[in-house]
A and B are shown apart, each in its own frame.
Chain A
Amino acid sequence: MRSRRCLASIGLATLASFATIGCRNTPAAASMNGPCTATVNAQDVGALSASSPSDAIRVEKSDTLTAQAQSSGSVGSYRIQLEYAGIRWTVAKGVADNNSWSRDVKVADYARYGAGLYRVHGVSTGAAACDGSVLIRVGGSPFATPAGLVGTGLVALGVANAASMLRRGRKVLLP
């Protein structure tokens, strides 16, 4: 009986936590490390939070993203990386021209499976190494993307399992 109440408390706390995660504003985080300045679609990365959705740069799938960076020192090479759930992968790389670099990235090439928020990193190596990041918000209907459909399916799976428990639970009357 006690364990059941304990589990019930966990469940309620969980629902509250979900609401909290969904509603809270993520504290702003520094988005540029190193002696560099960078822009994405002409917006200064240093002035934007890399974690707050309200600071995300809005693009559409048909757009081309232009990333530029300048450093106070010599830059060797650079990489543009996408990050999702803590996992990074490189989508473009090249060699810098002295102390600056610029690269165009087609959004459609990397956002074909989903919309929403992604974090983009620009990483420079060399004497003046830098790592800047910014959130990109890709437009489009989530329900028209594979990621959105998969997410909906997974949530439906959980709802179905919970509904199944509710249905079976009715067969035993509790005091």
Chain B
Amino acid sequence: MKAARNTVAGALSGLGCVVLLQQFSVLYPTATVAFTGIALGIAVQFGVGALVGRPQRTASTPLSSANVSETPNWHPTHRVPAEGTDAWPEPDASAQPEQRLDGGLDVRIDKAEGGWAHVVCENGWSTWVNGSLLEPRG
């Protein structure tokens, strides 16, 4: 869904750039220029998405679209402690943490395994954290 949105927005904005450049007499839009503009527009959207650090879901933590937190029904159940906490791609303390969650970040516990909690952030990203560190929301 996110990829489709980026693709459509990128293609349209790329085409818009080409139209504006033509309207301002900067370049004449040949078919090649038009297709290049569309392709670059799509690449810009995906590039921006990558630059802002939106991690992809890992294969070990697949989420169906039904329980992804980007849906309007997402409700946080816990909060990351003020000092923040490390996040792992798998419930395995011997592995290197993949991220560090910001203190005060609202999350929803999706499932628990031992002392581990699989949490989903509001933007749909999911990860494993030490469940005992999370603070229940009032």
Determine whether B81 belongs to the interface, using a CB cutoff of 8 Å to chain A.
no
B20 to chain A, nearest CB (A): 4
CB contacts between A and B, total, < 8 Å = 190
Q: Mark B1-45, 1 if CB is under 8 A from A, else 0.
A: 000011001101111111111111111111111101100110111
Number of interface residues of B (CB under 8 A): 57
User: Could you tell me the distance between the alpha carbons of A22 and B10 in the complex, rounded to whole angstroms?
Assistant: 18
**Assuming the A-B contacts A86-B34, A168-B54, are A161 and B9 also in contact, with contact meaning beta carbons closer than 8 angstroms in the complex?**
yes
User: Could you tell me the distance between the alpha carbons of A25 and B106 in the complex, rounded to whole angstroms?
Assistant: 52
- Pick from A1, A15, A147: contact of B44, CB under 8 Å: A15
Interface residues on A, range: 35 or more
Q: Which residues of A contact B9 (CB under 8 A)?
A: 157-158, 160-161
Chain A interface, DSSP helix/strand/loop, else mixed? helix
User: Could you tell me the distance between the alpha carbons of A173 and B22 in the complex, rounded to whole angstroms?
Assistant: 40
Interface residues of A, Cβ cutoff 8 Å to B? 1, 3-15, 17-18, 21-22, 26, 51, 53, 56, 84-87, 114-119, 135, 137, 142, 145, 147-148, 150-162, 165-166, 168-175
> What are 16 A-to-B residue pairs whose CB atoms are below 8 Å?
A1-B55, A3-B56, A11-B48, A26-B27, A115-B23, A116-B22, A117-B28, A142-B24, A148-B23, A158-B9, A158-B12, A159-B13, A171-B123, A172-B125, A173-B105, A174-B53
Interface residues of B, Cβ cutoff 8 Å to A? 5-6, 9-10, 12-34, 36-37, 40-41, 43-56, 84, 97-102, 105, 121-123, 125
